[in-house]
Amino acid sequence: MLRDFSPENLALLQRALLSVAAASLLALLALSLLGIPRLHQALSAVFSRVPPRARGIAFGSALGLAILGASYALYRRSTANGWPERLPDALPPDFAPALLVQVPAFLVGLALTLRLLGGRTPRALRLLAEAALVPCAYLVGLGIIHLTLSLVDLEMWPGFKRAAFFSAAVFALPVAAIPSAQRSRGFGLVMALFLLVVFGDLIYLRYFGNILPVLAFGAGGQIWDVRDIVLKYTLKKDAWFLPVAVASVALPFVWPKAPKRFVPRALSRALDALLLVSCVAFVLPISDIVQKWMDSDRSWKVLNGTDAVQDSGIVVAHIKEVARSIRDAREHGTISDAEFAKVSAYHEARAAESMSDPDFGLARGTNLLILQVEAMQKWVIGAHVRGQELTPFLNRLRERAWFFDHLYDETGDSSTSDCEYMVLNSQLPIPQGSIAFRRDENHFVTLLHAFKERGYTTFAGHAYAAGMWNRAVLYPRYGFDQTAFKEQLGEGPKLGWGIGDKLFFRRVLPRIEKLGPPFASLLITLTSHGPYQYVPPAERKLVLGAIESSDFGGYLHSMRYDDEAIEQLFGQLRADGLLENTTLVIYGDHDSRMKFNQYLASETDLEPDVQRRLAIRDYTTKQIPLFVVLPERLHAAPRVVHSLGGQVDIGATISHLFGLKRPGSFIGQSLVPERAGHASRIDGSGVDDKHIFIATSGGRCESFPDFKRLGREDCAELRRKTQEELNMSWDVTLLDLAGRLAGKVPEKAAAER
C-alpha cells in the first residue's frame, strides 16, 4: 500500500504522525501531573464553573484542541526545519561508541533511582521512565548500526546515514509494543536478541563478506561446530557492545516493578499506543528505501554482500535480503512431474557421448589445474602490436597444446561469477542477477564432486576478499575442500584489487603442493581486471606509442603481464616436479568489454577483420581462448579443436578427458571429439555452425563463419534451439533441480582456509 505514496507524500505522512504523537505525549505527561494535589485542585476549580453534564465534553474538547494546536505548531516547525529528514546529516562523526556506553549507563542509573525512591516515585517520573525505554532502544540501535560499519572496516556510502537513522527504529518498535509494566524486562530480551543477530552479522561479514542470511538463523544449533571460526573472528573492538549486553541482563533485575494502578490504565495504554505510533512513523521511510532498491538494477546485479551494508546499514540490508527472497520465491515455484520429465530427457540427450573415443579418459589419474584468466579474449593469442608479440608464451604454448578456437563468452551481467558457475556446474547463467547471491542455497552438483568421487582433493585460490561474488559461501557448496583468499595469501604490492598475479602464483603454489596428488585446483587471476590500468610502469614491456595511456593500451599491457605470469607459473610447476603429472586448463573468463575506437586501428597490427569486429562490439566479438595442456609424458599431439561451444562446455570437456562419469545435471557437451556445437547467451543470442543470431537491437541474422547478413527467418531454428537451451538451464538453477537430475545431493561442508 505504501508503494503508492510518493517520497514527498511519505515524508508528509511521517511528519504528521510524529507531530500528533509528540503533542499527544506532551498532553499525557501534563495529565500525569494532575497527581500533584495543588494542580489537581486548581484544575477542579476551573471546571467547577462548568455544568456537571458538560464537564466531560468541555474537558475532552479542551484536551483535543490543545493536542490539535500543538500538533499543528510542531508540524509547521518540523516542515520549516526539514525535520526529521535533515537530522541524519547533523549527527557528529564517531558518535556511536560513546552512545553505546552512555545510554546503558543512563538506563541502569534510572533503574537504581526508581528503586531508591520506591513508593515515593512521582507518577510523572514513572511514566517518563517507562516511556524512556523506547527512545533508548532507538539510540542503542542507531549506535549499533553505525558502529558495525567501522567494526568490519567498511566505507559509508551516501545513503547510509538516512537509512541508518530511520531503521534504528526497528530496535525500538518491539520495545514499544510491550506494555509499560513489563517493558523493562522486554527491553532486556529484545536487546539481547538483536545483539546476537548483530554479532552473527559481524562474524559472517568478516568470514564470508556478507550479512547472516535469514535462512541461516535456523542453523543456530550448529554454532558449536564452527566455534573456532567464531573465536578467531571475534575482535577486541567488539567490546563496545558489552555495555548494552550488561544493561540488557541487569535491567530486568534492577528495574523495580510498577505499583498497581499507579496511573489510570487508560492513560498508560494511550501512552503505549503513542510510542508505538511514533516508532511506526519513524520506520515508514524504510519502505521507500527498499522499494527503490527493488525497482532498480542493483537488486539484481549484486557484486558483493557488503554493498547493502555500506549503502543502508545492517537492518535495511536484512530487509532487502528478505524482500529479494520473497520476490524470487514468487517468481519461481515448483515444477510438475511432466515438466521435470522434459528437463530430464533434455539433459539425458545432452549427456550422450562416446566412451570409445580415444580422447575419453586420456588425462585420467593426472592432477588438474584450472587457470581462469580475467578478461582474456581469443584475439589476443597470436596478436602483434607495433611488431611486438602480445602473448609470446601462450603463442608457444599453443604450438604444443590443444587449442579450442571457437569458444564463445556466454556470461551475463555477473561475468566472472557466471563463468565459474558454468565451468563447474555446466549450466548457463540466469537472466537477471547473480546465481552467487540469488541461488546460493542451491544443492549444486559440480565437476568437483565428480573428481572427489575419484579421491581428488579440491582447492581454489583468489587474491581478493572471500566475500566477492559470495565465494566464501559458494565454494564449499561447489565442492572445494580448501580455499585461499586475500587474508590467507597475505599482503604485498597491490596491482589493482589485490596482489599481482605473479606474486599470487608464487604464494598459492606451495598450498597446492601440500594437497598431494591427485588434486583438482582452480586459480583465478585478477591483475587484468578493468579498467586495465593496474600494471605498473616497471612491468610494462610493450612500446605502444600514442595509445600508451589509453584504456586499450592498458588492456594490452595487462595481457602481456598475464602472459608472463603464466610462463612463471609453468616454470614453478616444472621446478617443483608437478608439471609432468598435471593437466592444465587455461581460458579467459569473459569478454573484455573493451571499446576499440577507429583511431586505434593505425596504432596496432591487428587484422582488419579483428579490428572491425572489436569496433562493432556485438556477440561475434565475444570469443575467448581455451587451452588444454596435457602432461608431456602422455605424448598427446598438439591440435586445434574447431568444435563450437562456450564456457558451459568446459566442465563437460574436462570430465570427458579425465574419464569421469559426468553429473546428470550437466547441460554442456564435451568439445572433443569434434562436433558442430552451439553457444547461447542469456539475451537470446546464439551461434552454431551455420548461423549467428544477435538478439539485441531487434535481432540480426548472419551466416557463420563468413558473417554475411541474412533475413531473420534464416535464424528461426537457431533462435528456437537457443531459447530451449536457456529455458531448460534456467529451470535447473531457479528450481534447484541439479541434485534431482544427478540422482544425489552432495553434502554441504565448510572449506578449510
Both 425 and 571 in one domain: the answer is yes
Which residue did the predictor score with more confidence, 228 or 296? 296
Average pLDDT, the chain: 87
Q: Check whether residue 322 and residue 423 sit in a common domain.
A: no
Are 519 and 584 contained in the same domain?
yes
The residue whose grid cell reads 508528509 is: 12
Q: Is residue 459 helix, strand or coil?
A: strand
Residue 156 corresponds to which cell in the numbers above? 559509508
323 or 266: which carries more pLDDT confidence?
Answer: 323
Rounded to whole angstroms, how far apart are CA atoms 593 and 531?
A: 10
Strands 388-389 and 457-462: unpaired
Q: What is the pLDDT of residue 40?
A: 56
Residue 108 lies in a domain: yes
Nearest to 137 by CA among 242, 244, 211, 241: 244
Question: Looking at the predicted structure, is the pLDDT value of residue 2 above 50?
Answer: no
| Confidence bin at 435 (pLDDT 50/70/90) | very high
Please check the confidence at residue 466 and state whether its pLDDT lies above 70: yes
CA distance 415 to 696: 18
Q: 299-336 pLDDT, tens per residue? A: 877 767 888 899 999 999 999 988 888 887 777 678 89
> Quick check: is 608 in a domain?
yes
Q: Are residues 70 and 90 in the same domain?
A: no
Q: Would you say residue 203 lies in a domain? A: yes
In the block, residue with C-alpha cell 540488557: 248
pLDDT above 70 covers a percentage of the chain that reads 86
Asked which of 614, 648, 667 is the last residue of a domain, the reply is 667
Q: Is 38 exposed, middle or buried (0-12, 13-18, 19+ CB in 10 A)?
A: exposed
Greater model confidence, 718 or 331: 718
CB contact set of 158 (below 8 Å; sequence gap of 6+): none
Angstrom CA distances, 75 to 21, 68, 379, stand at 11, 10, 66
Residues 264 and 136 in one domain: yes
| Cβ–Cβ under 8 Å, residues 722 and 428 | no
Q: Please tell me the least confidently modeled range out of 215-229, 236-250, 543-557, 658-672.
A: 215-229
Q: Which amino acid, 79?
A: T
Check residues 380 and 288 and name the one with the higher pLDDT: 380
Q: Any idea which of 84-93, 470-479, 505-514 has the lowest mean pLDDT? A: 84-93
**Residue 639 exposure: Cα atoms within 13 Å on the Cβ side:** 13
Q: Name 461's bridge partners.
A: 484, 523
Q: Is the pLDDT of residue 483 over 50?
A: yes
pLDDT in tens, 91-101: 888 999 999 99
Q: Are β-strands 686-688 and 678-680 bridged in parallel, bridged antiparallel, or unpaired?
A: antiparallel
In this structure, the number of other CB atoms found within 10 A of the CB of residue 563 comes to 23
Residues 190 and 235 occupy one common structural domain: yes
3-state helix, strand, coil in the chain (%, to 5): 60, 10, 30
Q: What is the mean pLDDT of residues 506-512?
A: 97
Give the helix/strand (H/E) hosting 128.
helix 123-151
pLDDT exceeds 90 at position 593: no
The answer to the question of residue 378 being in a domain is yes
Does pLDDT of 607 surpass 90? no
**Residues, the chain, total?**
753
Confidence (pLDDT) at 63:
59
**What is the DSSP-derived secondary structure letter of residue 498?**
S
Per-residue confidence (pLDDT) for residue 188, from 0 to 100 = 93
**pLDDT in the model for residue 156:** 93
What percent of the chain lies above the pLDDT cut of 90?
57
pTM (2 decimals)?
Answer: 0.80
Strand partners for 691: 703
pLDDT of residue 221: 52
Q: What is the pLDDT of residue 15?
A: 62
C-alpha cell at 186: 522486554
Same domain, 396 and 440: yes
306 near 209, Cβ under 8 Å?
yes
Which one of 65, 85, 105 terminates a domain?
Answer: 85
Q: Which three cell numbers stand for residue 483?
A: 580455499
How many structural domains are present in the chain?
A: 3
Q: What cell does 548 get?
A: 600508451
- What residues have CB less than 8 Å from 3, skipping those under 6 apart? 287, 291
Identify whether residues 491 and 545 lie together within a single domain: yes
Closest CA to 324 of 445, 211, 207, 196: 211
- The residue segments making up the domain with residue 642 are 366-667
- Domain co-membership, 260 together with 403: no
Q: In this structure, are 66 and 209 located in the same domain?
A: no
Taking the C-alpha atoms of residue 52 and residue 60, their distance in angstroms, rounded to an integer, is 14
Of the candidates 7, 38, 387, the one whose C-alpha atom is nearest the C-alpha of residue 166 is: 7
Q: Which of 104-108, 290-294, 353-357 has the lowest mean pLDDT?
A: 353-357
At residue 35, does pLDDT exceed 60? no
Question: Is 691 part of any domain?
Answer: no
Task: Please report the DSSP string for 185-212 in residue order.
Answer: HHHHHHHHHHHHHHHHHHHHHHHHSSPP
On whether residue 417 sits in a domain, the answer given is yes
Which domain-ending residue is among 66, 85, 104? 85
Give yes or no for a contact between 329 and 308, defined as CB atoms under 8 angstroms apart.
no
Same domain flag for 207 and 303 = yes
Check if the beta carbon of residue 652 is closer than 8 Å to that of residue 404.
Answer: no
If asked whether residues 75 and 158 sit together in one domain, one would say no
Distance CA 681, CA 728 (A): 13
Tell me, what amino acid is at 280? V
Residue 130 CA, chain-centre distance (Å), reads: 40
For residue 555, the domain's CATH number is: 3.40.720.10
C-alpha angle 104-106-112 in degrees, rounded to nearest 5: 105
| Residues 70 and 26: beta-carbon distance below 8 Å | yes
pLDDT tens, 684-708? 999 999 999 998 778 899 998 888 9
**Residue type at 272 in one-letter notation:** D
Domain assignment present for residue 321? The answer is yes
Question: Does residue 1 surpass a pLDDT of 50?
Answer: no
61: exposed, middle or buried (Cβ count in 10 Å: 0-12, 13-18, 19+)? exposed
Q: Does a structural domain hold residue 703?
A: no
